[in-house]
């Protein structure tokens, strides 16, 4: 599979050089290939010259867009998508460090089904020195500052299910700093909506249109990458977010879109009573109600998978998922089972929890009415 990796960049020369250096270490399968498309969005810090002179292991192009009042992330990403030749488009940001298996992990999920949006987590490095010379010779975290933060979407999945596709609000969690979708689907929906300005929600709006097209969503925890600096929401970003949400609801006057306003309580600097995860749970429950998805009265079929049962679980899961709602507790952390749980087609709820501790398992079982089953049986 040919992958086009799109990176928009505005005055991020140094961070982009680190990003490209990390990308040189990508490990792909023998049937896969990678092209990198940098969209220089009118930078004046030497970005274009750096990219043109960068020694890259993969084909690398730099497209320079003059800076105009209409410039922004949506337009820059659309320029990259239009220039892409790959079957699969992977989107990242210019300030990220990409571990060697990240792109391959996106490919692994897409090989399971053609109608998929794959999201990967993003972590954050502390402020500190990046040893670019060492990073050039090998990918090692010893060349990088400590990791100080993870992806807050993980907290939502831990509460609801690690099967993102089971969530009514899965489209909202398309964050374009680490996401992939086949180019044909991006073209079919018209790419990013360029009327969004400032920070926030242009990627979630794309996710909404892809979901309306019928695409499935998956979250691959192994497709991880890292921002070089932690992001702190300031009042200007919050103001941008509110403007963009108003625009989003104008474009799509649907109740599940308007339900995103509940997230305002977590972004508003003057309000601290609810966390982002708590607001996301309320958003999800509201969206399910709009769909008519009331709490199930049919018990979930409980499947607990131990190491000795992985192969059997992989073989039987597609048919079981077609038969009834499933509660899948995975004690193995098997990456293929995690992918299958999210990519299998089913008309029923499939809730999936990987490697829960004893207390968390008790909470999960109490929250999901189920038929009793011995661990490791199906």
Provide the pLDDT for residue 119.
Answer: 98
- 6 and 81 housed in the same domain: yes
Average pLDDT, the chain: 94
- 129 and 171 housed in the same domain: yes
Domain closes at, from 291, 321, 338: 291
- 180 and 91 housed in the same domain: yes
Under the banding of pLDDT at 50, 70 and 90, the label for residue 222 is very high
In a domain, 360, yes or no: yes
Under the banding of pLDDT at 50, 70 and 90, the label for residue 71 is confident
Domain of residue 320: give its range. Answer: 300-371
Rounded mean pLDDT, 20-40: 98
- 69 and 168 housed in the same domain: yes
In a domain, 377, yes or no: no
Rounded mean pLDDT, 262-274: 88
Rounded mean pLDDT, 319-329: 94
- With a threshold of 0.85, does the pTM exceed it? yes
Q: To which H or E segment does residue 89 belong?
A: strand 88-92
In a domain, 286, yes or no: yes
Provide the pLDDT for residue 374.
Answer: 46
Judged against a pLDDT cut of 60, whether residue 376 lies above it is answered with: no
Under the banding of pLDDT at 50, 70 and 90, the label for residue 373 is low
- 177 and 251 housed in the same domain: no
Rounded to whole angstroms, how far apart are CA atoms 55 and 252?
44
Provide the pLDDT for residue 181.
Answer: 98
Rounded to whole angstroms, how far apart are CA atoms 274 and 277?
8
In a domain, 130, yes or no: yes
In a domain, 378, yes or no: no
- 8 A C-beta contact, residue 3 and residue 106: yes
DSSP 205-222: HHHHHHHHTT-EEEE-TT
- 216 and 339 housed in the same domain: no
CATH of the domain at 23: 3.90.550.10
Rounded mean pLDDT, 62-89: 93
Rounded mean pLDDT, 67-86: 92
- 146 and 205 housed in the same domain: yes
Q: What is the pLDDT of residues 172-199, one digit of tens each?
A: 999 999 999 999 999 999 999 999 989 9
Domain closes at, from 267, 291, 315: 291
DSSP state letter for 124 = E
Judged against a pLDDT cut of 60, whether residue 130 lies above it is answered with: yes
- 156 and 79 housed in the same domain: yes
Under the banding of pLDDT at 50, 70 and 90, the label for residue 271 is confident
In a domain, 376, yes or no: no
Under the banding of pLDDT at 50, 70 and 90, the label for residue 69 is confident
- Phi, psi dihedrals of residue 134, rounded to the nearest 5°: -70, -40
Q: How many domains does the chain have?
A: 3
Rounded to whole angstroms, how far apart are CA atoms 87 and 84?
9
Rounded mean pLDDT, 96-108: 98
Rounded to whole angstroms, how far apart are CA atoms 118 and 102?
12
C-beta atoms surrounding 204 within 10 Å: 21
């Amino acid at each position: 599979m040919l992958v086009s990796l799109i990176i928009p960049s505005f005055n991020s020369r140094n961070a982009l050089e680190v990003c490209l250096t990390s990308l040189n270490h990508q490990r792909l399968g023998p049937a896969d290939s990678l092209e990198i498309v940098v969209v220089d969005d009118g930078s004046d810090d030497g970005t274009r010259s750096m990219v043109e002179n960068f020694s890259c292991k993969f084909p690398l192009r730099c497209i320079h867009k003059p800076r105009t009042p209409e410039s922004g992330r949506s337009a820059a990403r659309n320029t990259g998508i239009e220039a892409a030749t790959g079957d699969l488009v992977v989107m990242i940001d210019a300030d990220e460090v990409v571990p060697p298996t990240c792109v391959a992990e996106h490919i692994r999920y897409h090989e399971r089904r053609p109608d998929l949006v794959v999201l990967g987590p993003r972590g954050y490095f502390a402020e500190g020195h990046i040893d670019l010379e060492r990073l050039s010779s090998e990918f090692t975290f010893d060349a990088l500052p400590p990791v100080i933060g993870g992806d807050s979407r993980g907290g939502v999945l831990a509460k609801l299910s690690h099967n993102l596709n089971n969530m009514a609000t899965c489209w909202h969690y398309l964050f374009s700093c680490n996401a992939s979708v086949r180019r044909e689907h991006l073209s079919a929906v018209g790419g990013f909506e360029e009327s969004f300005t400032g920070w926030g929600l242009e990627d979630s709006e794309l996710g909404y249109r892809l979901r309306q097209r019928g695409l499935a969503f998956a979250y691959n925890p192994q497709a991880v990458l890292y921002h070089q600096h932690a992001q702190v929401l300031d009042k200007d970003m919050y103001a941008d977010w509110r403007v963009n949400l108003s625009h989003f609801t104008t474009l799509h006057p649907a109740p599940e879109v308007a339900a995103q306003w509940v997230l305002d309580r977590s972004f508003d600097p003057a309000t601290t009573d609810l966390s982002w995860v708590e607001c996301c749970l309320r958003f999800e429950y509201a969206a399910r109600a709009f769909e008519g998805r009331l709490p199930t009265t049919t018990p979930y079929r409980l499947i607990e998978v131990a190491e000795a049962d992985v192969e059997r679980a992989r073989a039987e899961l597609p048919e079981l998922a077609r038969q009834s709602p499933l509660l899948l507790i995975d004690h193995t952390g098997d990456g293929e089972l995690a992918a299958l749980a999210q990519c299998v087609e089913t008309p029923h709820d499939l809730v999936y929890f990987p490697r829960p501790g004893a207390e968390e398992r008790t909470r999960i079982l109490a929250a999901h009415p189920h038929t009793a089953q011995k661990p490791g049986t199906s």
